[in-house]
Amino acid sequence: MSCDFRPENRGALAPGQLADLVAECVEQEGHLVCHETGDAAGVPGAVCAGFAALPAAGRSLTLRIAAAGQVAYQDPAPAPGLGSR
């Protein structure tokens, strides 16, 4: 698993880089995309579960639309080490 929110993967990012990415997403009401989805993985892109688990993720327009039931939404089992939403 390549999730930047997993403690064992944080060494791949510069110090503070993940916090900066999250802050930018929250400011823009955006989200982080799961690294294991999207065109390269051959499956539809998804919101990163690590990002979605953050309290500040409630500012994400995508997650607010999903919570309102306006998009098809599948909630997979939480990945080990990420907790549940």
User: pTM score > 0.85 for this model?
Assistant: no
Give me the mean pLDDT over the 28-50 stretch. Answer: 80
Give me the mean pLDDT over the 39-48 stretch. Answer: 75
Asked if pLDDT for residue 36 goes beyond 90, the answer is no
pLDDT at residue 8, as a whole number: 75
Q: Please report, for residues 18, 44, 54, the alpha-carbon distance to residue 9 in angstroms, rounded to integers and kept in the order given.
A: 11, 23, 17
CA 9-40-56 angle, 5° bins: 50
Return d(Cα 77, Cα 79) in angstroms, integer: 6
pLDDT at residue 24, as a whole number: 94
Asked if pLDDT for residue 39 goes beyond 60, the answer is yes
55 versus 8: the higher-pLDDT residue is: 55
pLDDT at residue 11, as a whole number: 60
